[in-house]
Chain A
């Protein structure tokens, strides 16, 4: 039963394209994500990777193509056919979305504990003590000291805010998490800590994730597979170590050769 479940794709993109009037967002993107699989989408700004992420997560309607998602009841649904209430339900229960700017994914004026607890309440948790304890556990897992549970994230550093946003997303045990440049605005030392944390959580919870990043180091540390995009087109897709160590396309070779050795 479990094995069967792992052998069926969670999300399938079929020929996804987006045109903004005459300007191309991205073109003919197809792939499948399986449970527990992490895929990085890498490319420069303007490559179409954020457009793709928004279409995958129902925030933007594709011009062509479709996204299929397997819900917890085992049915495969075309996201375009879901009603607004069903989409919201998916976002509350099955999905997480980590924004580059934590302020976009957090409520900045309510306490850290409430930021995490809110997601639990949205899936039906009612017992205050349980909610507070679970929120406290999650702050601990993202290395935020328990003593700061009642502070609003407005008083947190950038790295702490990002960790709080991750706790808020993962507390409901989603099956799929979208991440848009999760380490984007952070100092290098803070990035390393966050990456290490994400790496542990993704493996431990066997999360499927689609991570948009311009940073190949993020792709290397977090993802099983990497998709390279440029100017709206998919240039190359494969195992992450294969794409990084044996890049086939000229553009990927350029990207890889531009990384400074660690």
Chain B
């Protein structure tokens, strides 16, 4: 099957201007591709650059070299060189991202946090709320919490709100940063089911998953990020 996401010769170095310009190489020569319906798991010890790779794909980190191609409808957009507007459009139409931690906005109810990506995409609020409610139920967030801002929730509850938000839009590429990290076995199984269902519908997934069972259940390929370790 043809790839919907391709990384070629991607490299990233941080320059710390406040520390005398120290250069901190993160990764170099990152090279992999993911096809529709396939899940690639990034593996490697903490600090190997796994999250940085996801952030470069999403456009949050710039890349210093190489290309990150998102292919859709016969055309390709290179995230590494795209205009901010193109990246924003990709995030709306093609790239989903579940970050490691929920960035809660003060005062916004959990149900609205989850529904927001659909509302931004122009779906009527009532319908967006229905979809959000389904996912929150599926992820075992009790209904009495839905009207509350997630800032006061437990770590696991916040993570599930974050997952619900990330899975709400049916986008062709999904980036998952430790989605099962702070979840109990039951909720971990729900997330594995959600990922599996999404793969079946043709979503390309790039995930960081430390839990071995979860990883074995979703991974089609495992990419050892140490291969891309940048020489210091």
Residues of A that sit less than 8 Å from B by CB: 34, 37, 192-193, 195-196, 199, 203, 221, 224-225, 238-239, 241-242, 245-246, 248-250, 253-254, 257
Contacts and interface: CB of A to CB of B under 8 A. Distances in A.
Nearest to B61: A246
A253 B84 contact: no
Tell me the interface secondary structure of chain B in the complex.
mixed
Tell me the interface secondary structure of chain A in the complex.
helix
Contacts, number: 51
Contact of A196 (B59, B84, B107, B120): B107
Given A239-B59, A245-B61, A257 B105 contact: no
A225 B15 CA distance: 22
Contacts of A192: 106-107
Contacts of B84: 224-225, 238-239, 242
Q: Which 7 pairs from chain A and chain B are nearest by CB?
A: A250-B17, A192-B106, A246-B61, A196-B107, A239-B84, A241-B60, A253-B17
16 contacts: A193-B107, A195-B106, A196-B108, A224-B84, A224-B88, A225-B84, A239-B60, A242-B61, A242-B84, A246-B14, A246-B55, A248-B15, A250-B17, A253-B18, A254-B17, A254-B18
Contacts of A253: 16-18
A59 B89 CA distance: 33
Contacts of B14: 246
Contacts of B138: none
Contacts of A242: 59-62, 84
Given A203-B120, A246-B14, A246-B62, 10 more contacts: A192-B107, A221-B105, A224-B84, A238-B84, A239-B60, A245-B55, A246-B55, A246-B60, A253-B16, A253-B17
Q: Interface centre among B88, B105, B106, B120, by most A CB within 10 Å?
A: B106
A138 to B, nearest CB: 19
B132 interface: no
Contact of B105 (A37, A196, A239): A196
Nearest to A37: B85
Interface string B49-87: 000000100011110000000000000000000001101
Contacts of B120: 203
Interface residues of B, number: 20
Contacts of B106: 192-193, 195-196
B193 to A, nearest CB: 30
A170 to B, nearest CB: 18
Nearest to B58: A241
Contacts of A221: 105
A34 B60 contact: no
B159 to A, nearest CB: 17
A195 B106 CA distance: 9
A32 to B, nearest CB: 9
Contacts of B85: 34, 37
Q: Interface centre among B84, B108, B120, by most A CB within 10 Å?
A: B84
Contacts of A241: 59-60
B78 to A, nearest CB: 15
A227 to B, nearest CB: 11
Contacts of A238: 62, 84
Nearest to A193: B107
A2 to B, nearest CB: 11
B43 interface: no
B119 interface: yes
A245 B55 CA distance: 10
Contacts of B60: 239, 241-242, 245-246
Given A37-B85, A196-B108, A225-B84, A257 B62 contact: no
Q: Interface centre among A203, A224, A239, by most B CB within 10 Å?
A: A239
Q: Interface centre among A192, A199, A246, A248, by most B CB within 10 Å?
A: A246
B27 to A, nearest CB: 14
Contacts of A245: 55, 60-61
B119 A203 contact: yes
Nearest to A247: B17
Contacts of B105: 196, 199, 221
Interface string B96-108: 0000000001111
